[in-house]
């Protein structure tokens, strides 16, 4: 049981079977009678619970289940408040406060900023809405391993692209309890850059500092990268579905490639991670030990892939000074991809340090909303 008293009110928040939502609703409504600048107890509750999930993993099934129950109850109560607001059952003063603090009902989308995208010289093969049997055939069609493949319009049935649109900040704020949910982010252009750091911040702060400002006014680059967001916020998991392509049986890493001799843990179910960042985020050139299906929900992304047979030409890193094996990540700075100007000093420096990189064969493509990209195991990938 958890208890708390919003300032100026003596109605406790009590978590008892059968009355969780009603008690939370009473607490939320009564707290609305406080001044706008009063203590935001909801943020404290959400922050404490999210820290237990993110930092400690909320060990134990019962503990994790209890935390999810509390957060679900808070979300249900908040949704009820918003519904009452839209039906006119909240006082004018509360309605005014809600409009100021929670821009849930605006017809908004994320700002669009044009990024430099290299001209496609060696485009990845594209097909539209490929059937499962055709995808399975693709996996075994080449004797030296399957090729990358962009499958366009494969995700158009996802609620995240339709009635529950992730392209609207207002929807994501609503699903994160007014942006109070904490998220772990990476700060900096990429994890191999000097000065790169990590932070755990409220989702609303993530949006306001790194997404909504113009690029020249932002706090730099913030990126939620390769994170199991759907385990922390299960309601967002309902907005997507795992593509059937992930339930096929692709071939193992090819012989004479770096992953061929490594022991890779077998998966019972597909791994599910989220990437969420503004324009300007970069994923360093790296390789993954599993076959991947990268799904694009909002915006566009340039992707370049190198065959695992090209590994020596992309100069893999070694164990760093902290003893971390970085051999899955290239030393090459991918920010120079697409640069051809004669006077580009960064490009000349790259060519001098990594002379074989310019000879490495690659394919490239641009993912749009609703597209997915099949990435064969061991492929070295980067995205801008």
- Give the pLDDT confidence of 162-207 residue by residue, as tens digits: 999 999 999 999 999 889 999 999 998 777 777 788 999 999 999 9
User: CA 28, CA 115: separation in Å to the nearest integer?
Assistant: 42
Among the ranges given (30-34, 73-77, 128-132), the one the predictor scored with the smallest mean pLDDT = 30-34
For the segment(s) 126-383, the CATH number from 2.60.40.60, 2.40.50.840, 2.70.240.10, 2.60.120.650 is 2.60.120.650
Between residues 9 and 44, the one the model is more confident about: 44
β-strand pairing of 126-128 with 149-152: parallel
Please give, one letter per residue, the 3-state secondary structure of the chain. CCCCCCCCCCCCCCCCCCCHHHHHHHHHHHHCCCCCCCCCHHHHHHHHHHHHHHCCCCCCHHHHHHHHHHHHHHHHHHHHHHHHHHCCCCCHHHHHHHHHHCCCCCCCCCCCCCCCCCCCCCECCEEECCCHHHHHHHHHCCCCCCCCEEEECCCCCCHHHCCCCCCCHHHHHHHCCCCCCEEEEEECCCCCCCCCEEEEEEHHHHHHHHCCCCHHHCCCCEEEEEECHHHHCHHHHCCCCCCHHHHCCCCCCCCCCHHHHCCCCCCCCCCCCEEECCCCCCEEEEECCCCEEEECCCCCEEEEEECHHHHHHHCECCECCCCCECCCEECCCHHHCCCCCCCCHHHHHHHHHCCCHHHCCEEEEEECCCCEEEECCCCEEEEC
Handedness of CA 13, 19, 23, 28 (dihedral sign): positive
User: CA 252, CA 270: separation in Å to the nearest integer?
Assistant: 16
φ, ψ of residue 376 in degrees (nearest 5): -60, 150
Instruction: List the domain boundaries for the chain.
Output: 20-101, 126-383
What the block records as the tokens of 181 is: 């949910």
* Strands, sheet with 372-375, edge to edge from the N-terminal-most edge strand: 126-128, 149-152, 372-375, 292-295
- Chain-centre distance of CA 145, in angstroms? 29
* Nearest C-alpha neighbor of 51 from the set 266, 259, 200: 200
Please give the pLDDT value at position 202. Answer: 96
User: CA 157, CA 367: separation in Å to the nearest integer?
Assistant: 17
pLDDT band for position 295 (50/70/90)?
very high
User: Whose structure tokens read 């690659």?
Assistant: 362
Give, rounded to a whole angstrom, the gap between the first and last alpha carbons of the chain: 47
Q: Which residues of 342-364 are buried (b: 16+ CB within 10 A; e: fewer)?
A: eeeeebeebeeebeebeebebbb
Among the ranges given (31-45, 118-132, 151-165, 192-206), the one the predictor scored with the smallest mean pLDDT = 31-45
Residue 239 near residue 155 (C-beta atoms within 8 A): no
Residue 120, pLDDT > 50, answer yes
pLDDT band for position 78 (50/70/90)?
confident
pLDDT single digits (tens) 227-285: 999 999 999 999 999 999 999 999 988 888 888 778 788 888 999 999 998 877 888 89
What the block records as the tokens of 148 is: 């990358």
Considering 41-50, 105-114, 158-167, 203-212, the range whose residues carry the highest mean pLDDT is 158-167
């Amino acid at each position: 049981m958890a208890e708390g008293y919003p300032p100026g009110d003596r109605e406790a928040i009590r978590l008892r079977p059968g009355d969780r939502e009603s008690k939370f609703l009473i607490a939320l409504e009564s707290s609305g009678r406080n001044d706008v600048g009063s203590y935001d107890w909801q943020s404290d509750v959400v922050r404490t619970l999210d820290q237990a999930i993110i930092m400690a993993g909320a060990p134990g099934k019962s503990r994790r289940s209890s935390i999810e129950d509390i957060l679900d109850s808070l979300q249900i109560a908040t949704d009820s408040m918003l519904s009452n607001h839209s039906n006119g059952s909240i006082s004018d003063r509360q309605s005014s406060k809600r409009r100021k603090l929670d821009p849930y009902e605006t017809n908004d989308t994320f700002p669009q900023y044009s990024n430099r995208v290299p001209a496609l010289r060696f485009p990845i093969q594209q097909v539209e809405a490929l059937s499962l049997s055709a995808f399975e055939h693709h996996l075994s069609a080449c004797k030296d391993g399957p090729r990358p493949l962009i499958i366009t319009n494969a995700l158009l049935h996802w609620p995240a692209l339709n009635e529950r649109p992730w392209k609207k900040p207002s929807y994501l704020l609503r699903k994160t309890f007014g942006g109070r949910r904490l998220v772990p982010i990476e700060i900096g252009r990429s994890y191999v850059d000097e000065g790169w750091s990590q932070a755990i911040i409220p989702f609303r702060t993530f949006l306001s500092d790194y997404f909504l400002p113009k690029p020249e006014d932002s706090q730099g680059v913030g990126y939620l990268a390769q994170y199991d967001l759907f385990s922390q916020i299960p309601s967002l998991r309902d907005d997507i579905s795992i593509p059937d392509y992930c339930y096929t049986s692709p071939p193992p890493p090819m012989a004479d490639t770096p992953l061929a001799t490594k022991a890779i843990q077998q998966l019972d179910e597909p791994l599910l991670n989220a990437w969420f960042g503004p324009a300007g985020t970069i994923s360093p050139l790296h390789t993954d030990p599993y076959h991947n299906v990268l799904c694009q929900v909002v915006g566009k992304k340039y992707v370049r892939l190198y065959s695992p047979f090209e590994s020596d030409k992309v100069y893999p890193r070694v164990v760093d000074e902290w003893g971390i094996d970085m051999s899955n990540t290239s030393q090459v700075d991918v920010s120079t991809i697409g640069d051809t100007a004669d006077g580009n000093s960064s490009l000349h420096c790259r060519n001098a340090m990594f002379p074989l990189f310019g000879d490495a064969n690659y394919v490239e493509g641009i993912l749009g909303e609703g597209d997915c990209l099949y990435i064969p195991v061991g492929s070295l990938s980067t995205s801008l």
